[in-house]
Amino acid sequence: MKLFRIITLMLVFLTAAPITVTGFILIESSISTLKTLTWELQQERADHAGRAVSSFFDNIIDDVDLLVSNLGVAAMNVGQRQKLLSFILQKRPEVNIIAFYDAAGRRLPGLLAFDMNRILPSELADHHSQVSAIHFGQDSPKSVAFSNTYTIHRPARPDLSIPPRDEQAVAMAFKLNTTDAAFLGMEVSLAPLQGVVKKMRVGQRGEVLLINSQGLLIAHHGGLTDRMKDPQGLPTLLARILAPQGGDVSIPRVSGARPITVGKGMELLAAFAPLARPAWLMISIEPLDEAYAATRTMTFQVITVVLVSLALAIGLGVLFAFGITRPIGKCVTSALAIARGKFGHTLDISTRNEIGELAHTFNYMSHQLLDYDEENKALVASLERGYLETIRALANSIDAKDPYTRGHSMRVTNVALAIGKELGLKNDELRVLRYAGILHDIGKIGIQERILAKKEKLSDEERQIMKQHPVQGDKIIEPIDFLQPVRPIVLHHHERVDGSGYPDGLKADEIPLGARIINAADTYDAVTSDRPYQSAVDNHEAIRILQELRTSQIDPKVCDTLIAIIERQINAGQLRPQEWEDEYTDPTWDAPPIE
């Protein structure tokens, strides 16, 4: 596979390297231009929002100026002037109060109009004070002037059917060329500006803010400022935008844009634009990563082109090298398959060259190995069958020493297999259990026949000798490799779950499961067989005895499983222990060999 990698990597390098270098050069040369365009776009957004807010006041100014200029206020009497005020109040719903004032800032008597559905007469004094605080100056070229914004909070007056007021407002004054009325003063609600600002959008997460000349927030749209988590709030934002190097924070005369950092490392692109009138400021802010999305998009596109080119180069390299390296790879794979024991595995290579001849030879070798492997498996199966026959003969020779226990090993084996199947043991576990059942008493070969066949009660010395048969059995099968999994079962099949068994006094789960199964099967066969010291019992009595030994000698789960098997025999009418099926008819005979 080295040849395949060399060819592929060479083509990839020759194709992708120039494209990658070109892409990075393009990114470096374009990123500055894109940032400049992004700043200009943000600036245009702020200017557009500022013009929209200015047009709100320009519309009011134009309407009032048109009426005052064309109708000639100087020639009007008091009644006509009052009608003019009422008409303006009706035409411009954002105007709350309107009145004529003299040069000293005093309201002219009888020349006042206000929205009586929303305004209380007691609120007029506050409006007059705001208007009186506006100073044009004798030589001022301005025809319109504004007061500072102020906030009105007043609860509802249900007795007068007047709703509550909670709004910001600003006082406006218009110069008049009359002898008695120096200017026209009005209070304008700023609530409609929130609707104007809400129409402005800055990207997905940006925000626009309208700031008055005192640096206070008039209206805004978006929640970015709420997410800055800056304890100083709006003053910090204005300081970062208008005076990044420190100094006086005031409304600038020209617009601008710059990146800033506020809060806990939040980077923003901010643009600001002063309004023509009043002297307020419109700010547009947007997260820097969103503002520079175009730069990232271009970078992504360049990287995509590079990756696509790289993929094409890899594809071409693979196609070019495939015809050379594929047969070699098949040879390697098939050789590994043979090494893992998959004899008979063949190569599907039809090329008529040296590699094709190699494949033909390889296939011949694989079939030969398959034939040898099948012969070996047959020999192993025959050898295992011979082992089993020998084991069975040994077990029968043990049983033959005592006429009362003839066939005991086979019955214990088949009962144990029935329990194992109920417990869901796998085939290889059942095979181990079979061998263990046959060999569990193999150690009795070394015990004198007089002790095995003795009809009277064994003496203490004889009992100790008898207790050695599990240890002797373990030693007998120790040299046989394929019976190693059987040894723990043979050694511990006389252990009791309460720890009073032998030879090691193991308890509960310390005892191998196979040994616990053999113990239960051994006990069942013992009580249902005629012995010198007892007569065989039926299945009902056997169940009672097993229940007494449950948790003391026999594992509870194994005991319950055996009882369930016996109860099925009883329900089928078999009151005496059945003749269990012969081992050679048991399906586990063909189970895989012991691992």
Residues 135, 206: one domain? no
- The structure tokens listed for 542 are 């056997």
Residues 436, 580: one domain? yes
Residues 451, 527: one domain? yes
61-70 residues labelled b (16+ CB within 10 A) or e (exposed):
beebeeebee
Helix pair 78-91, 2-71: axis angle to 10 deg = 160
Q: What is the DSSP letter of 112?
A: E
Residues 148, 212: one domain? no
pLDDT, one tens digit per residue, over 341-354 is 777 777 777 666 66
Residues 586, 535: one domain? yes
pLDDT, one tens digit per residue, over 4-30 is 667 667 766 776 677 677 767 767 777
Tell me the C-alpha to C-alpha distance, in Å, between residue 141 and each of 37, 186, 278. Answer: 38, 20, 15
Helices (H), 246-353: 288-291, 293-339
| Number of domains the chain is built from | 3
Residues 185, 199: one domain? no
Query: 153-160: which pairs have CB atoms within 8 A and are 24 or more residues apart?
Result: 154/120, 154/123, 157/120, 160/120
CATH of the domain at 275: 3.30.450.20
Q: Could you tell me the mean pLDDT of each successive run of 10 residues in the chain, 595 residues long? A: 66 69 71 80 88 90 86 85 91 92 86 89 87 68 84 89 90 86 90 87 80 86 60 72 76 85 81 89 86 75 74 72 69 74 72 70 78 81 75 68 68 92 92 90 82 78 88 89 90 93 92 94 87 78 91 92 90 67 42 40
CATH of the domain at 490: 1.10.3210.10
Q: What is the DSSP letter of 162?
A: B
3-state secondary structure 525-536: HHHCCCECCECC
Query: 165-172: which pairs have CB atoms within 8 A and are 24 or more residues apart?
Result: 165/118, 165/119, 165/123, 167/191, 168/218, 169/96, 170/146, 170/278, 171/127, 171/130, 171/131, 171/133, 171/134, 171/146, 171/147, 172/57, 172/60, 172/61, 172/144, 172/145, 172/146, 172/147
Q: Which of 217, 220, 222, 263 is nearest to 240 (CA)?
A: 263
Residue numbers of the domain that contains 177: 72-189
Residues 513, 409: one domain? yes
Tell me the C-alpha to C-alpha distance, in Å, between residue 169 and each of 138, 195, 207, 549. Answer: 26, 15, 23, 96
Residues 137, 234: one domain? no
